[in-house]
Amino acid sequence: MEEFLQRTKSKLNRSKRLEKVHVVLGSKSCDLDSLISSLAYAYFLDKVSPPDVLCLPVLNIPRREFSYYTETRFILEELNIPESFHIFRDEINLHQLNDEGKLSLTLVNSNMLTSDDKGLESAVVKVISPDEQCDGSLELQESSSSLVVKEILQEAPELITQQLAHLLRGSILFKCMSVEPERMTEQQEKMLLLLEEKFPDLPPREEIISVFQETQLNAQGLNIEEVMLKDLKELSDGEIKVAISTVYMSLEIQKQAYFQMELCTASDVSTL
């Protein structure tokens, strides 16, 4: 994976006139599922596409924001994939490539472009999104990573290395770790078993989940603004935008915050 990322980044920087570029673009939330799916699918495309097509994953955030994503950074650092190998949204002009007729886009983890990217709709050739697979049941929503695993195993199973299996399996487990095992979708469980059968030396599921839980709660070094931006999601109806942030905390910290809020409320009442 690191050889692929380094090569594509180098080719993007060297080439003054790119002929054809197939970008795999994740969602602006840049969560673990979105990022790993983008990396894996771009790697797959690079192996099966004609040599004149530059296939590359693009993280849909500015580089300066990458420090917020502790879970994503953890799994990449564990596999020795340097941050410098990644291409961030502020490092490639997708609109210019599209205006020149050179851009193809695969959207991962989202079936819609943001309002700022509506002009790129004509370049979209594929969407890999769990929203497209939702059947309305009470099961956990499908992950993009399991959809990517399924396609690669069907089209070119020899491309799944142990490193890639570790990335994709970790992403699926992270998506599922907050629910009971029986709520995991049938496809997610099937993809996990296939990866584990192919690579029996992968770490136990419980070990990966435990480390993710610790990492998720670790916001050391982040200020309040960065914590709010870390898991920010945007909802829009075309005219009105609503931003929603998720802040993870331990039950102990939550109880302390609630107790302090109660004290403040009691103090306000006593002054009336």
Question: In terms of DSSP bridges, do strands 124-128 and 103-108 run parallel, antiparallel, or are they unpaired?
Answer: parallel
Task: Say which residue the tokens 């195993």 belong to.
Answer: 153
For the chain, which residues score pLDDT lower than 70? 15-16, 131-141, 178-183, 216-239, 241, 243-272
User: How far apart (Å, rounded) are the C-alpha atoms in residues 165 and 149?
Assistant: 9
Indicate the residue type of 268.
D
Distance between CA 178 and CA 180 in Å, rounded?
7
Say whether domain 1-220 belongs to CATH 3.90.1640.10: yes
* Adjacent-strand bridge partners of 241: 236
pLDDT in the model for residue 12? 85
Alpha carbon distance 235, 10 (integer Å): 35
Q: Specify the domain boundaries for CATH 3.90.1640.10 within the chain.
A: 1-220
Q: What pLDDT, on the 0 to 100 scale, is given for residue 13?
A: 81
pLDDT score recorded for residue 70 = 76
Give the global pTM: 0.77
d(CA 172, CA 192) in angstroms, rounded, equals 8
Cite the beta strand spans of the chain per DSSP E: 20-25, 53-58, 103-108, 124-128, 232-236, 241-245
Distances from the Cα of 37 to the Cα of 31, 105, 265, 267, angstroms: 10, 14, 46, 50
How far is 181 from 169, CA to CA, in rounded Å?
Answer: 15
Q: What are phi and psi of 112, to 5 degrees?
A: -135, 145
